[in-house]
Amino acid sequence: MGGGGVYIAHDECMGKTKAVKEIEKWSKVEGQVLRKKSRATWVECGDANFKYFHAQWKSRSSHNSITSIYTEKNTKLTDPKEIEAEFIGVFTGLMGASSSELPYLNIEVVKKGECSTLQQQKKLIR
């Protein structure tokens, strides 16, 4: 990679991996709590046809899904299997190599580098 990069030590990388797993664990717990709260609210309302429960579940599910992404070649993917394959490919490329040091962002470039224009920001979140 280009000069001036900062490298993460293997121990620090493992610590970050552990932190990500901890976040995933608590996110799963949060989802379980929300499901239980939704069920409790549904029971209180006495909605016999599950309409309220399913509306709440659908709302929660829509916030926790990735419906489309753009590849490095600016191709939009909407098929869940293609999205999954793209994520696996990108993260395998990032994390697949066994090394004691991994390249890291140059913080000075991030702090002092050019910012995205409003138009570029909008394109990223489409």
User: Which residues 6+ apart lie within 8 Å of 71 measured at CB?
Assistant: 77, 86
Position 1 pLDDT exceeds 50: no
Q: Is residue 88 one of the residues assigned to a domain? A: no
Query: Domains in the chain: how many in total?
Result: 1
Q: Rounded to the nearest 5°, which phi and psi values hold at 11?
A: -60, -40
pLDDT tens-digit profile of 64-84? Answer: 778 888 988 999 999 999 999
Q: Is residue 114 one of the residues assigned to a domain? A: yes
Q: What is the mean pLDDT of residues 94-109?
A: 69
The whole-angstrom distance between residue 124's C-alpha and the CA centroid of its chain comes to 14
Whole-angstrom distance, CA of residue 85 vs CA of residue 39: 34
Q: Is residue 32 one of the residues assigned to a domain? A: yes
Q: Is residue 84 one of the residues assigned to a domain? A: no
Q: Is residue 90 one of the residues assigned to a domain? A: no
Q: What is the mean pLDDT of residues 87-96?
A: 80
**86 touches 69 (CB < 8 A):** yes
pLDDT tens-digit profile of 53-64? Answer: 777 777 777 777
Q: Is residue 103 one of the residues assigned to a domain? A: yes
Q: Which domain, by its residues, includes 16?
A: 6-65+96-124
Mean pLDDT over the full length of the chain: 77
Q: Is residue 87 one of the residues assigned to a domain? A: no
pLDDT higher at 8 or 89: 89
**86 touches 77 (CB < 8 A):** yes
Q: What is the mean pLDDT of residues 87-100?
A: 74
Checking 29-32 for CB contacts under 8 A at 24+ apart, the result is 31/60, 31/64
Q: Is residue 76 one of the residues assigned to a domain? A: no
pTM above 0.85, yes or no: no
User: Which residues 6+ apart lie within 8 Å of 103 measured at CB?
Assistant: 1, 5, 7
